[in-house]
Structure 1
Amino acid sequence: MTREGHRIESPKDRLTQGIALALLLVLGGLAIVGPSGLLAWGDNLRLLDQRRAQIAALTHERDELKLQVDALNPKHADPDFVGELIRRDLNVVHPDEVVILLDPADQPRK
């Protein structure tokens, strides 16, 4: 120790302190600009909202498909729905029926 009470640092101590400082600066930089840092927070929130909207849409689609599957249960199938599917998918029409084809582009938008 010197007269002022400070310890004289060796080059090894200075190197250790420099490495520790560099590591702290890198970690601080990552906390600000990293993939989960402060600057990416808004983008992550936007992506989260998009994913929630996708989940809601897929849940709705799944529920619609479940209703269709239930309507096609062989034990108690819905005859109206079965007839609609046969006419639509197999182009089966009774002789006394009239088919009106609609162009999807002419349909009103929701």
Structure 2
Amino acid sequence: MVVRRRVRMVVLPLGLWTLSALVVGYFVWQAESGNRGLEAKKALKIRAYGLNQELAAVRAERATWEHRVALLKSDQIDRDLLEERARIVLGRVHANDVVIITP
């Protein structure tokens, strides 16, 4: 009887400590490598940085195109830009132009 009581006094706390350590270990593991853990956060930050770089490049390209369109739409049309677009659309070249064909 005394032996059972001593075993119970040792095994029960040991089992509870083991169970609590396993639960805490599981939550620590999930915090590190789970779907919303630290590794996922790092991957999302890297992806967000790349997307911000791409967004900046697209905004710069859009500003360039808006400027070119504004030159074509204004009261005073830029003749050089109009001539360039007309040559590209019509596929014509001037007799004095030098044409370089690249593969």
Please, what TM-score do these two structures have when normalized by structure 2? Answer: 0.62
CA distance in 2, matches of 1:51, 1:101: 36
Q: Within 5 Å, which residues of 2 pair with 1:1-110?
A: 29-73=29-73, 75-94=75-94, 96-103=95-102
CA distance in 2, matches of 1:59, 1:50: 14
Helix, strand or coil at the partner of 1:72: helix
CA distance in 2, matches of 1:45, 1:63: 27
Note the C-alpha offset of 1:74: 5.2
Aligned pair count reads 83
Identity between Structure 1 and Structure 2 (%):
24
**Higher fraction of helix:** 2
CA distance in 1, matches of 2:76, 2:27: 63
Note the C-alpha offset of 1:86: 1.0
Question: Which amino acid is the alignment partner of residue 53 of structure 1?
Answer: Q
Note the C-alpha offset of 1:29: 4.6
1:21-45 Cα deviation digits (max 9, x unpaired): 96x8766554332222112222122
Q: Which stretches in structure 1 are left out of the alignment for 5+ residues?
A: 1-17, 106-110
Helix, strand or coil at the partner of 2:37: coil
Please, what TM-score do these two structures have when normalized by structure 1? Answer: 0.59
Q: CA RMSD in A?
A: 2.6
